[in-house]
Amino acid sequence: MSREIKKTDNNLDRLYKLLPAEITGAYIAIRTLITPENNSQDGFLLFFAIVILVIAPFFYYRVLGVRNLLQVVFLTFSYVVWAANIDIVKIVALKDTTDSAALKFIFDPTFIKGILVIWVMLLVPAVLKSGDKNP
């Protein structure tokens, strides 16, 4: 099945194509290698999370054959929102390590969870209910 969203796809097919299973699977695989007892290896997790983020758009375009730029961007940022919510405890722990009010706001669990809600709300008008102009 092609990952490109088409006008003829029903909403369930479109939703399936929006779930970045290969990318999230890579993140989970790396995350399982990190010892959860302490935060000593969080730097490695962050490094690999960023590597996956950089590779993701190319993976979607080249390997999965997604040619719609809006869908590639949406998939890539979906990974960021998903990963932030998966590791919300680690991100919130960073809140106490900064003096920056902006970073404290971004590292707040309410903000992180709120972004997820907004992201899901954007899913419908941006992709699932697309017309002629959108994917």
Question: What are the pLDDT digits (tens) for 9-38?
Answer: 766 566 566 666 788 888 888 888 876 666
The answer to whether residue 134 sits within a structural domain is no
Question: Given this model, what pLDDT does residue 13 score?
Answer: 66
Domain count, the chain: 1
The answer to whether residue 5 sits within a structural domain is no
The answer to whether residue 121 sits within a structural domain is yes
The answer to whether residue 47 sits within a structural domain is yes
Q: Which of the pair, 64 or 124, is modelled with greater confidence?
A: 64
Model pTM score: 0.74
Residues in the chain: 135
Q: Residue 9, SS3?
A: coil
Query: What is the residue range of 34's domain?
Result: 11-128
The answer to whether residue 84 sits within a structural domain is yes
